[in-house]
Amino acid sequence: MKSILAVVFLGLVCTKKVPSRVLYFPSDDVESLNVHNFKRFVENSPTAWLVTFYAKWCAHSQKFSTIWKQFASEATPWRDLVRVGVVDCSSIRNMRLCDKFKIVDFPNMKYFHEKSSFGASYVGLEVQVGVTLDFTKRFVFKTIVDEIMKGGGRIYPRGLVPYPHTDSTALFAGENANSRIVVWVIEDFVRPLGAEMVMHFHRTPNVSFKRSQAKALIGFPKVVFAERGKNLVIVDKNIDGSFQMMQVISGFLKSKGITPCVITPVKMEEMYSTV
C-alpha cells in the first residue's frame, strides 16, 4: 500500500512551466485567500482550514485545480468544521505570504487547525497532494485523524477515527442513549467513503457513524445499519461512490423517521460582503 501511495503523490512538485491561466473563479466553492484576508479568515478561526498554495504557471497546479475545485464542492457541508481555500503564489502581492508559510513547490497543501495562532514557528501541517480526487481525500482525512489522535481536532465527529473492531458487537459502545441508529461504513482500500459520510451527516441528530477499512479486496464498500434491539441491515450494492452512498443512507434514515440534516454554510467572502 505504501508504494501505491508514493506513486500517487510524488511528481506533483512543479518542474514544468506553462502559459499562465486563471485557475479559480468567484463562482467556485473554494475560498480565495490573499495577503489581505488570510490572517483575518484563517488565524484563530473557529474552523480548520485546508489551503492549497499554487502558481498559475505551474502545470501541476493547473491539473490539480480541477481536483481541488471538485473536493471543495463536495466539502461545502463541512464548512462549519473545515474550510477549503487557495492562495495564488504567482501573484506578486502574495509572495511574502507564501514565503512565510515556507512554500517551495506547487501545488502545496497546508492544514491549519481551528484556533490557529500564527507565531514565528507555526506554518501549518503539510498534506500530501494526490493526483486523483479519492487519494486527495484519503490524504486529507489521514491528516485530520492524526490531529484527533494527538488530542486536537475537537471540532470533528469522533466517528472519523476508525472503528477498531471487526464485528458489530461494540457499535453502540460509548454512544449516548439518544443514538437510535449507528451507521457503519466499511471502506475499500482507496475511497474514504466512511469519512465522507461522517462529515456529510454530522449535523443529523440521533444517528452515529463509524468507519473502518476492508481487509479483503472484494465485496466492499458496504454500509451496515444498526438499530437498538433490531437486526442489522447490510447494503453492499449500488453504493459505488459518495453520492450513491449518501442516497442509500438518507433513504434508510427517512424510512426510520429521521430527516438527514445537511446544511451548506456560505463562503467567508460572502459572509463579509453582507456585513
> Are the C-beta atoms of residues 12 and 107 closer than 8 Å to each other?
yes
pLDDT for 215 beyond 90: no
Total length of the chain:
275
Q: How far is CA 149 from CA 108, 144, 219, in A?
A: 24, 9, 29
The label of the residue with cell 485546508 reads: 50
Would you say the C-alpha torsion 53, 56, 62, 65 has a positive or negative sign?
positive
pLDDT at 190: 83
Residues 6+ apart with CB under 8 A from 162: 145, 211, 212, 213
Chain-wide mean pLDDT for the chain? 90
Q: State whether residue 270 is helix, strand or coil.
A: helix
Summarize the confidence of residues 189-214 as an average pLDDT: 95
pLDDT at 23: 97
Please tell me the CATH code under which domain 10-149 is placed.
Answer: 3.40.30.10
Q: How far is CA 186 from CA 87, 109, 160, 247, in A?
A: 35, 27, 12, 16
In angstroms, the CA 194 to CA 181 distance is: 15
pLDDT at 6: 35
Q: Return the bridge partners of 227, or none.
A: 181
> Are the C-beta atoms of residues 100 and 123 closer than 8 Å to each other?
yes
The model's pLDDT over 27-65, given as tens digits with 9 standing for 90+, comes to 999 999 999 999 999 999 999 999 999 999 999 999 999
The model's pLDDT over 87-112, given as tens digits with 9 standing for 90+, comes to 999 999 999 999 999 999 999 999 99
* Topology of the domain covering 158-255: Glutaredoxin (3.40.30)
Q: How far is CA 196 from CA 141, 159, 275, in A?
A: 9, 11, 32
The model's pLDDT over 120-131, given as tens digits with 9 standing for 90+, comes to 678 899 999 988
pLDDT for 271 beyond 80: no
Nearest C-alpha neighbor of 197 from the set 230, 235, 149, 165: 235
Residues of the chain with CATH 3.40.30.10: 10-149, 158-255
Q: State whether residue 99 is helix, strand or coil.
A: helix
pLDDT at 201: 98
pLDDT at 17: 73
Would you say the C-alpha torsion 32, 16, 67, 9 has a positive or negative sign?
negative
pLDDT at 16: 65
Q: Return the bridge partners of 212, or none.
A: 186
18-22, 87-91, 129-133, 162-166: segment of lowest average pLDDT: 18-22
Residues 6+ apart with CB under 8 A from 89: 53, 54, 55, 95, 97, 98, 103, 106
Q: How far is CA 9 from CA 41, 94, 133, 263, in A?
A: 28, 25, 11, 32
pLDDT at 195: 98
pLDDT for 220 beyond 90: no
Model confidence at 8, in pLDDT bands (50, 70, 90)? very low
- Looking at the chain, the whole-number percentage of residues with pLDDT higher than 70 is 91
pLDDT for 22 beyond 60: yes
